[in-house]
Every structure is written in structure tokens, then in C-alpha cells.
Structure 1
């Protein structure tokens, strides 16, 4: 059992708790950082050169407080999170979010350090980026838990139909949705890097609603 697979399992459990919140997303990408270019191609100043916004954890304690709402604000908050992940969190290749603001979890999985402790899933080294992660979560679009459950249920069935027989169903619990997937994430029985799994995931990707990819 590798640290990588343990981290993936821990990430799924962490995400399940987020769904029950019922927020679904944690992070994203960044406009800058020294030597980093924004999603649109422009170059932005490094984090060290950026003053902390009023009300943020960097300017007096506590989590950053979102000043706006909507998809644009959500995306911008995700970009801020990745700026910190790339420069302060120790994950220099942390991937950009989709244009919707949601994370691209397969790409995050690809940059996980197999010798690390899952920093990619937990706000960076020593959770230094957790306030930015939390601020982005607060701006995540509200979701319909029943539709999310039905989507993940269809996805789980598709995964089993395409050869991943151990793939479990999601469950409704505590006002939220607990994703399905590996029946024992602490000691995985499913290899997400196997060719068969990759083919199944590609075949079943359309079953998941926007923002649910990577959840199970």
C-alpha cells in the first residue's frame, strides 16, 4: 500500500465530509506566483508581493471572508487558493481549475507526491493554505443533493458494468451524499492507475454532473 493510494483514500473521505456540508469543492488555480502564469496566460506578481485583503487570515487572523458571490467570485477564490498552494503550500504544479471553478481531480491525483502526506488534498504543507481553501468552499455553488446522489449512483453502476466490480454505490447520510468507490479506501482494493480502471472512468465520465468528477 503506497502513500499515494492512502492519500487518495483519505481524500475521498475528506470530500465525502465536504459533500455532507453540503459543499463539494475545495480548490483551484492561480493567477500567479513568481514564475507562474495565469490560466489566461498573463503573468501576475508573486504571493509575497500581494498585500493580504482586509478580513483575510493574512491580515488579522481567521479565514478569509468572501466579499462577493457567484461563479466568477468562486473561480477567483479558487485561483487565489492555488496561488498559495503553488508558492507557499509546496505543490508547485497544482493544476488550474476548470472554467466552472471546480477542481480537476484527476489532474490533482497526477501531481501527488508518492512520498508525501497528501498535502495536495489538505491545503498544502502544514495546511498553510487552508484559509484560502475554506474561503473558496464558502463560494461554491449550492447543489441539489438528490440529483448529486442519482448522478453518482448511475456512475457507480456504470463503473461496475465496465469491469470495476468492487466499485460501491454512494449513500445518503446526515443530509448529504457520501460518495461510493473503493469499499476500503484505507487499504484499497481498486487500483485507480490500472488501464482497466482508466478505461472505465473515461467510459463513465458523462454520468457525473459538473463538479462531481473525482468525487468517487
Structure 2
């Protein structure tokens, strides 16, 4: 990807020590479209100062929830039905995915989804093999649970891109104020949210395993809205 092409929320991965797994994992995460090729939106102070609080455009083009580079028309009937299905259907679908990950993927300790329906990434991270290929993030080995994963993402409630951006901006500012001065700010582009965080995914500049990073993460965790856990 040489043109900072946008992939779906599923084309991103988690940050820091597991970021390389996220970038290759094509993981279906909350409906935010962001650019993997462009990283987290810069590592300088100018990111937030220049961007300010951007406004999402009126159309919802950035939240079509497309998966694996495909548009909404390619996602089948489930996507159309899922828009108004509500949180209960989303939770049930995520639970089916979790059950698949426990049985077919062999991850017996894969955690239950939260009551909101979103996966508990902090617990999933604990299961990840740092020397593996991020299979814990992408539906198991050979994508054995991809059908369940896509079905769950098709039912995710629509998100407010503006609110998500403001939440991640507040989180990034908090991380920097707590010593993580290289933590990049999120950006808005065409109504799409591009998370901040590690400014150099292929050669991380921050050690997420360090006590300082963990302390900053703990201090700032409440800045992120439900469903944004681990997005930056």
C-alpha cells in the first residue's frame, strides 16, 4: 500500500508489541476506517494542533463497515439486516465467534464478549503468541472462524466517527501528558477516523511492556469510549 489506501476496520491490528500482528492480521474491529500504510497520524505535536477537532462530513461514507477491502454490497444480506439489529444481536453474534475460537481455533480461554458486545481485547492480548502470526486476532488458524467474525461485524451498531475521534484525541493527549511523548494523535480524513498511538508500527518507538507505558495506559483508559479499547 503506497498511497495510504484505506482498509476496513478489519484491516488494522492492535498497537505496540502486537502491532505487527495487527497490520498483517486483517482483524475485524469496531467500525472505524483507518489507514494502515499511513500509521497513526504523525508523531509530532502538530498532529493535534493542526487537526483540532475535525468534523465528520454529513454522509456516512467512512462508516460503511466494509470488510477485507470489499464494499458493503459484497458483504451479503447480513450487513443490510445488521444495521438496525441492535446490541443484543451483536452480542449474540460475538458470542458465537468466541465459541468458535474456543472450539475450532483451540483457544479454550478466549474471553466472553463484554455486555456491549465488543470483545475484551485486554484479555485477548494475554493469549497472543508474540512469535505467532496474530491468529488470535484474525479468526484462528487459516481463518477458521472468519465466517463468525464477519457475521458479528455486520451486526455492530453504527458508531459516531466524530465522537470516536474526540475520544481518541483525549486519550492521546492523556498518554503524552503521562510521559508517552511520542504517542501520535488520531486524525480525521474524509469522515474516517485514523487512530493514533505508535508512530512507527514497523519499528516501534514505545515499549508497551514497560512500567511507564503500562502506568500511562492505566491512567488514560477511561478516555476511550466503549469499543475503542486497544484501537490506539
TM-score relative to the length of structure 2: 0.68
For 1:166 and 1:10, the matched residues in 2 are separated by 23
For structure 1, the 5+ residue unaligned runs are 27-61
* Displacement of 1:175: 2.9
Counterpart of 1:7 in structure 2 is 21
For 1:165 and 1:74, the matched residues in 2 are separated by 37
CA RMSD of aligned residues (A): 2.8
Counterpart of 1:40 in structure 2 is none
SS in 2 for 1:7: helix
Counterpart of 1:22 in structure 2 is 63
Counterpart of 1:52 in structure 2 is none
Counterpart of 2:176 in structure 1 is 160
Give the one of 196, 203, 208 matched to 2:224: 208
For 1:156 and 1:150, the matched residues in 2 are separated by 10
Asked whether the equivalents of residues 156 and 168 of structure 1 are also in contact (C-alpha less than 8 Å), the reply is yes
Matched, 1:122 2:135: no
For 2:76 and 2:107, the matched residues in 1 are separated by 21
TM-score relative to the length of structure 1: 0.73
SS in 2 for 1:177: strand
Task: Report the more deviating stretch, 86-95 or 110-119.
Answer: 86-95
Asked whether the equivalents of residues 85 and 94 of structure 1 are also in contact (C-alpha less than 8 Å), the reply is yes
1:32-75 CA-partner distances (Å, limit 9, x unpaired)? xxxxxxxxxxxxxxxxxxxxxxxxxxxxxx97947771111110
For 1:176 and 1:16, the matched residues in 2 are separated by 14
Matched, 1:147 2:160: no
For 2:29 and 2:196, the matched residues in 1 are separated by 9
Asked whether the equivalents of residues 31 and 159 of structure 2 are also in contact (C-alpha less than 8 Å), the reply is no
* Displacement of 1:22: 2.7
Any runs of at least 4 consecutive aligned residues in structure 1 with deviations exceeding 3 A, and if so which? 2-5, 8-11, 13-18, 62-68
The change in CA–CA distance for 1:15 and 1:72 in structure 2 (over 3 A counts) is: closer
Matched, 1:73 2:89: yes
Q: How many residues align?
A: 178
For 1:198 and 1:108, the matched residues in 2 are separated by 16
Counterpart of 2:119 in structure 1 is 103
For structure 2, the 5+ residue unaligned runs are 1-15, 34-61, 68-74
The change in CA–CA distance for 1:136 and 1:17 in structure 2 (over 3 A counts) is: closer
For 2:116 and 2:30, the matched residues in 1 are separated by 22
Counterpart of 1:173 in structure 2 is 189
The change in CA–CA distance for 1:131 and 1:177 in structure 2 (over 3 A counts) is: same
